[in-house]
């Protein structure tokens, strides 16, 4: 007799299943499917993410050992390695991309009032990309160098809660700046970017929306100073100037004035030259905004270390994208659970606990709150502090 719900079943209760079915129907995901549905596939892959499974055979062995508990979790189809491989190979990855975006919208609403270290009411986003390396002999479709293969994960991270507001997966050859064409910018929001996104024409399109940007300047860009504002050099600031591009094409792409802020980061011994279209905020706030961009680097490092997006269960492009989008969905779902249940543990700790208790029959709240885990962390593990609010 089944007594009580497993931890995994309680986690799936947070899934908006009606919206999931709408995503499936949009791409006819269950067309001619008799036994192993898209929901079965999603739950099996989520299990693999939460318990750090290494392969499809690993997933099959573990789930078959728990056969009597799968029905109450929501997995109704027969588990086999070949069936799961075929599902990852053939079912449209956009089903899981759309569903992940729905979870992202829910999570962003929950984290809308999180502090980011800078006193601003507007939304603040960090835009960056990371390359996920692949084996060239196994993934020949992803070749981007003579001896290397890989894909690029472009991410717009909402700094209020470290929620990915926008994710786009492309070939590794795709330059970062092209993603600005895909971006649907938010009026009045701040976009923090590194040097790879410095394109004056695209930045001017953001300016006309209007949105604000802070982008690091490349050393080969020439600017003409119009006038300067005095700065307190003891704070690390070196100059605050109003400038215009000097060269023909940058001037043509951005025909208006820009603001240049130079800042010396004594902690990292780094000089920063920042270009922005925001003229009213203090220069030190502009520098602080750019330093917040480091959160997207921590996000990339965190998900590579703690989610299964470096070792893949399939070799096709569809299988790789399916796995990445389900990983994003799982990451966001755990963030939603953390916020809704007001859990004080870090996301890393929650995932570690769930990996051991997923099929235990105990209240989810007790599993995640009644612990003697000490939340004190060394400075070297700062990347694990996402969602520690």
Give the model confidence (pLDDT) of 184-205 as tens digits: 889 999 999 999 999 999 999 9
Q: What pLDDT digit, counting tens, does each position of 45-78 carry?
A: 999 999 988 899 999 999 999 888 888 888 888 8
Domain ranges of the chain: 7-95+326-384, 195-292
CA distances from 144 to 93, 141, 262 (A): 22, 9, 35
- Look up residue 67 and give its two tokens: 């056969």
Collapsed DSSP state (helix, strand, coil) of residue 264: strand
pLDDT digits (tens, 9 = 90+) for 242-283: 999 999 999 999 999 999 999 998 887 889 999 999 999 999
Summarize pLDDT for 19-29 with one digit per residue, the tens.
999 999 999 99
Question: Residue 240: CB partners within 8 Å, gap ≥ 6?
Answer: 228, 229, 230, 231, 259, 260, 261, 262, 283
Confidence label for 389 from pLDDT (cuts 50, 70 and 90):
very low
Write out the E strands in 246-358.
258-265, 270-276
Burial 264-274 (b: 16+ CB within 10 A, else e): eeeeeeeebbb
Partners of residue 150 on adjacent β-strands: 133
Q: What is the pLDDT of residue 383?
A: 46
Tell me the CA distances in angstroms from 48 to 45, 66, 313, 380, one per residue in order: 5, 14, 10, 28
Nearest-angstrom CA–CA distance, 132 and 151: 5
Task: Check if the beta carbon of residue 215 is closer than 8 Å to that of residue 196.
Answer: no
Rounded-to-integer distance, Cα 329 and Cα 17, Å:
13
Q: How far apart are CA 248 and CA 22, in angstroms?
A: 50
pLDDT at 180 over 90: yes
pLDDT at 374 over 60: no
3-state class (DSSP) for residue 158: strand
Please tell me the predicted confidence (pLDDT) of residue 131: 92
pLDDT above 70 as % of the chain: 94
Q: Is the pLDDT of residue 375 over 60?
A: no
Looking at the predicted structure, is the pLDDT value of residue 372 above 60? no
Cis peptide before 210 (omega within 30 of 0): yes
Average pLDDT, the chain: 88
Tokens 């999570």 sit at which residue? Answer: 107
Residue 370: the pLDDT is: 57
Q: State whether residue 225 is helix, strand or coil.
A: strand
Whether residue 378 is predicted with pLDDT greater than 70 in this model: the reply is no
* DSSP letter (8 states) at residue 79: P
pLDDT band at 305 (very low <50, low <70, confident <90, very high): confident
On whether the CB atoms of residues 367 and 360 are closer than 8 A, the answer is yes
- Given a contact cutoff of 8 angstroms between Cβ atoms, the answer to whether 99 and 329 are in contact is yes
Backbone dihedral angles phi then psi of residue 40, each to the nearest 5 degrees: -60, -45
């Amino acid at each position: 007799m089944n007594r009580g719900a497993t931890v995994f079943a309680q986690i799936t209760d947070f899934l908006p299943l009606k919206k999931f079915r709408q995503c499936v129907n949009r791409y006819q995901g269950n067309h001619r499917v008799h036994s192993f549905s898209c929901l079965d596939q999603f739950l099996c892959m989520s299990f693999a993410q939460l318990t750090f499974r290494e392969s499809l055979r690993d997933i099959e062995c573990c789930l078959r050992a728990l056969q009597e508990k799968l029905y109450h979790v929501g997995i109704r189809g027969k588990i086999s390695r070949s069936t799961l491989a075929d599902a990852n190979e053939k079912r449209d990855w956009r089903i899981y991309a759309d569903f992940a975006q729905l979870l992202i919208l829910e999570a962003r609403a929950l984290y809308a009032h999180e502090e980011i270290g800078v006193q601003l009411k507007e939304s603040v986003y960090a835009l960056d990309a990371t390359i996920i390396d692949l084996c060239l002999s196994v993934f020949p479709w992803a070749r981007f160098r003579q001896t290397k293969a890989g894909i690029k994960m472009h991410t717009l991270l909402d700094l209020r809660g470290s929620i990915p507001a926008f994710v786009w997966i492309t070939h590794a050859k795709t330059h970062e700046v092209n993603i600005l064409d895909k971006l649907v910018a938010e009026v009045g929001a701040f976009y923090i970017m590194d040097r790879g996104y410095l394109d004056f024409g695209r930045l001017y399109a953001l300016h006309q929306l209007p949105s604000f940007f802070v982008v690091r300047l490349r050393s080969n860009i020439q600017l003409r100073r119009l006038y300067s504002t005095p700065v307190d050099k003891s704070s690390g600031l070196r100059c605050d100037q109003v400038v215009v591009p000097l060269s023909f094409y940058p001037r043509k792409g951005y025909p208006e004035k820009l603001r240049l802020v130079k800042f010396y980061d004594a902690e990292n011994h780094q000089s920063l030259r920042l270009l922005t279209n925001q003229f009213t905020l203090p220069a030190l706030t502009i520098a602080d905004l750019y330093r917040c961009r480091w959160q997207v680097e921590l996000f990339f490092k965190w998900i590579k270390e703690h989610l299964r997006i470096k070792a893949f269960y399939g070799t096709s492009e569809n299988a790789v994208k399916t796995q990445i989008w389900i990983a994003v969905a799982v990451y966001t779902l755990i963030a939603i659970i953390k916020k809704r249940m007001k859990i004080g543990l870090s996301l890393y700790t929650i995932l570690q606990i769930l990996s051991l208790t997923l099929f235990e029959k105990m209240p989810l709240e007790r599993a995640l709150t009644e612990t003697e885990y000490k939340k004190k962390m060394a400075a070297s593990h700062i990347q694990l502090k996402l969602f520690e609010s």
